[in-house]
Amino acid sequence: MNSTDTNNHAPTGTAETVPPDQTASVDGPGPVDLAFPPYLTVIEPGTLERLRGSLAAEASREGLVDVAYRIVDSPVGRLLVAATDRGIVRIAYEREGLDAVLQSLSDKLSPRILEAPARLGSAAREIEEYFSGKRMRFDLPLDLRLSAGFRRTVLAHLGDIPFGRTESYTEVARAVGNPKAVRAVGTACATNPLPVVVPCHRVLRSDGSLGGYIGGLEAKATLLALEAAAA
């Protein structure tokens, strides 16, 4: 309830309205807004997009953007691709919640995050080439700081599984020298901050079933089918 208008009597059945009290109106927006020309309150479509674009460009030039990101369309849905000055730091599927992903980057890396597509031109191009079957290896600088310890060791190995091939969680555990750590390999894949580019989708269960995937099993199946067709 926000009934601060002292002139607001109960309806009496007449159509007459009481002229607004000019001093009371200072307490809230209301009729005063009518005094402003329309272009002060109505912002034309496209204006903010244009301003945000030039803000991102200028902020990048001045070195003020710690995390730049871009949304890339793909056959497995929209992907958020984020980079620091060291390289690609995060790729996220839409189902992870793009706002939640950005908030987590803000907490873990820096809140100086802007959508700056120009900073991610080559990443977007390579990802598009990959999905159109024209690229088998990514040639992008990666920033692996969101992953540490054993998980990072696992991610480093995943990059060695060739395009179009798969390994089982057990094989990966053996390959990284810790054959008993099958579950930990599963966790490392599930928390891979750079899906698609670091190919955790190439790791399956020993019986050949898909296991899990951060982008959903449908996305995992799509990537594997794409690689099988292009390899």
Partner 1 sequence: MDTKQPFEKLVELHGAAVLRVCRAVVGPLDADDVWQETFISALRAYTELPADANIEAWLVTIAHRRSLDSVRAAARRAVPIESVPDRESPLGIPDPPGDGVWNHVARLPDKQRRVIAYRYLADLPFTEIAAIVGGTPAAARRSAADGIKKLRILTSEDLPEGDSHEQH
**Catalytic residue set:** 200
**In angstroms, what is the minimal distance from the CB of 1 to partner 1?**
18
Cβ contact 185:169 at 8 Å: yes
> Does residue 139 belong to the site contacting partner 1 (CB under 8 A)?
no
Pick the closer one to partner 1 by CB: 8 or 22: 22
How many residues sit close enough to partner 1 to count as binding (CB under 8 A)?
A: 41
- Residue 4 interacts with partner 1 (CB under 8 A)? no
Which one of the spans 2-10, 23-31, 84-92, 210-218 is the region binding partner 1 (CB under 8 A)?
A: 23-31
**89 near partner 1, rule: CB under 8 A:** no
57 touches 118 (CB < 8 A): yes
Determine which residue in the list 8, 11, 46, 99 makes contact with partner 1, applying CB under 8 A: 99
CA distance 70 to 121: 9
Which of 4, 7, 21, 64 touches partner 1 (CB under 8 A)? 64
CB of 74 to partner 1, least distance (A): 21
Q: How many CB atoms lie within 10 A of CB 31?
A: 11
User: Nearer Cβ to partner 1, position 109 or 198?
Assistant: 109
Count of alpha carbons within 13 Å of 49, Cβ hemisphere only? Answer: 4
Name the one range near partner 1 by CB under 8 A: 57-65, 86-94, 185-193, 215-223. 57-65
- For the record, the structure tokens of 31 come out as 């009729």
Q: Which residues contact 186 (CB under 8 A, 6 or more apart)?
A: 169, 211, 212
Smallest gap from residue 133 Cβ to partner 1 (A): 32
Measured CA to CA in angstroms, residue 203 lies from 3, 163, 171, 225 at distances of 62, 12, 9, 14
Applying CB under 8 A, the residues found at the interface with partner 1 are 19, 22-23, 25-26, 29, 32-33, 35-41, 43, 47-48, 51-52, 54-55, 58-59, 62, 64-65, 67, 69, 99, 102-103, 105-107, 110-115
